Structure 1
Amino acid sequence: MAHKQTAGRDNLGELAPTFAALNDDVLFGQVWSREGQMPARQRSLITCASLMSQGLFPQLEAHLRIAKANGVAKQELVETFTQLAFYAGWPKAWSAFGLLKDIYADVPDDTPDAGLFPLGSPADGPNFTGHAWLHMLTGPDNPLSAGNVTFAAGCYNRWHTHPAGQLLLVTAGHGWEQQQGKPARELHAGDVVECPAGVQHWHGAAQDSTLTHVAVTPVPAGQAAVEWLEFPSHSDYEQLD
């Protein structure tokens, strides 16, 4: 959790100050804050699943808002509640979907899974064939640039090079990466791609799936992080699937 939780003291500080302190300082201050052991995004998904299973809908409403802020995708919650309906009860799923529909009303139904990090801002432009999103993980002056990149289904980028190479850590979806002189490589969550300095490559989503990866790119002083070239052949891309 990026901000300090005060809901306990705000709502129960006078009536139950010890409970309020335990809620804010222990549950959120010590457990939720252990993002090195488990990201807040995963904690949110687990918590929402537990609350839906127990039928604790006032608490679920609050935690759906937290889940949204922590980058949990609408479709992830849809799949979670659908599966739990068979184990926790159909009426509970109906109630949970009602809350989800209201809280995520401003999120399009086809918003892709952004993996471990928030989806970020649209990154559509002349270097992508379709929709893409970028959430930077490092500051603009950091010599080691890291960003969470999500490609919509069917979207890929141009051939390009990096003066100091690039590391791609795939966190969600299905896609492709190709380096000059080599066949295209299929990508799934958990795959790691190392592209050497100066080698041309392209990467993007499969035709029927989104793709999310963390791109780690060293930025040498006085040089651009990337040089964009032409697009891969679309007919070659269509044959990959």
Structure 2
Amino acid sequence: MAKKQTAGRDILGEFAPKFAELNDDVLFGDIWAREEKLSPRDRSMITVSALIAGEIAEIITHLSFYAGWPKAWSAFHIAKGIFKNEKKAGQHMTSDQLSNSTIFPIGEKIEANFTGDAYLQMIFTDETPLNASIGNVTFASGARNYWHSHKIGQVLLVTGGEGWYQEEGKPAQLLKTGDVINIPPHVKHWHGATKDSWFVHLAITPGETDWLEPVHDDLYYTL
């Protein structure tokens, strides 16, 4: 059980009461205290990884005033090679290009239950204290998984590119870096890349997955 956070009220309770409330009750109370789902260490690792991928240019810009302009130029050249994801619409990226655009290793190509090129790198298995597997899934443009559901549910943390998430009978949702999807148990759904962009997410899955039929082109290409 995490210790209740009171630093906000202790230090800023009178001067900034609303900030203190959000700090103690929401950020460190509701979100970060849910250790039964994800430990603070793992939650921090995933959050920082996603933020670095999405905000790397801003980070280097701020640091340039302290580290110096020449070092900033050098850092930008390196960052462009690692995080670059620009490509012409409809152009398929190679596995090497995908690997250079992701935070975690691209892993092995997935052969079953996916349309197009997708890759999986397991980070944790369900033998860990989390009682959930955590996998990094990378989709090439146009790739998506089949319709499926999870017996206990699943959480998706988007770390790069653009993709779709759709539950049966509902409109598809466009996903970008930093988005989080909480999938309820037994809800039929699919997720994958857009037609013109690669897509990467972490999938936190505490139970079994029931795989169903493919997502047909006549549905996918109308998005």
- The alignment's TM-score, normalised by the length of structure 1, stands at 0.55
Q: Is the 8 A contact 1:74 1:111 kept in 2?
A: no
Among 129, 133, 157, the alignment partner of 2:119 is 133
State the shift of 1:156 in Å.
0.2
2:214 partner letter: F
1:237 partnered with 2:223: no
CA distance in 1, matches of 2:211, 2:165: 15
**Partners of 2:152 and 2:168 in 1: CA distance:** 16
Tell me the residue number matched to 1:202. 190
Alignment of 1:24-39 (within 5 A): none
Partner SS state of residue 157, structure 2? strand
Alignment size in residue pairs: 162
CA deviation digits over 1:65-92, x for unaligned, max 9? xxxxxxx88452698xxxxxxxxxxxxx
Amino acid at match of 1:195: I
2:135 aligned to 127, 130, 147, which one?
Answer: 147
Confirm or deny that 1:158 pairs with 2:146.
Answer: yes
Structure 2 residue matching 1:137: 3-state secondary structure: strand
Structure 1: 4+ residue segments shifted above 4 A: 34-39, 49-53
- Unaligned segments of structure 2, at least 5 residues: 1-43, 87-94
1:54 and 2:40 are equivalent in the alignment: no
1:212 matched to 2:200? The reply is yes
Asked whether the 8 Å contact 1:113–1:212 carries over to 2, the reply is no
Secondary structure at 1:235 match in 2: helix
Q: How far apart in 1 are the matches of 2:99 and 2:213?
A: 28
In structure 1, distance between residues paired with 2:174 and 2:85: 27
Q: Which residue of 2 aligns with 1:188?
A: 176
CA, structure 1 residues 37+189, in 2 after alignment: closer, same or farther (shift >3 Å)?
A: closer
Q: Higher relative CO (CA 8 A, sep ≥ 6), structure 1 or 2?
A: 2
TM-score where L is the length of structure 2 = 0.59
Q: Kindly tell me: are residues 189 and 109 of structure 1, through their superposed partners in 2, closer, same or farther at Cα, counting changes over 3 Å?
A: closer
Measure the CA separation in 2 of the matches of 1:135 and 1:128.
15
Percent identical: 37
**Which of the pair is proportionally richer in strand?**
2
Contact kept, 8 Å, 2:84 with 2:101, in 1: the verdict is no
How much is the aligned-residue C-alpha RMSD, in angstroms? 3.7
Q: Which amino acid aligns with 1:152?
A: A
Measure how far apart 1:149 and its partner are.
Answer: 1.1
Q: What 5-or-longer segments of structure 1 have no aligned partner?
A: 1-33, 65-71, 80-106, 220-224
Deviations 1:144-183 (Å, cap 9, x if unpaired)?
Answer: 1111111111100000111001111112111101111211
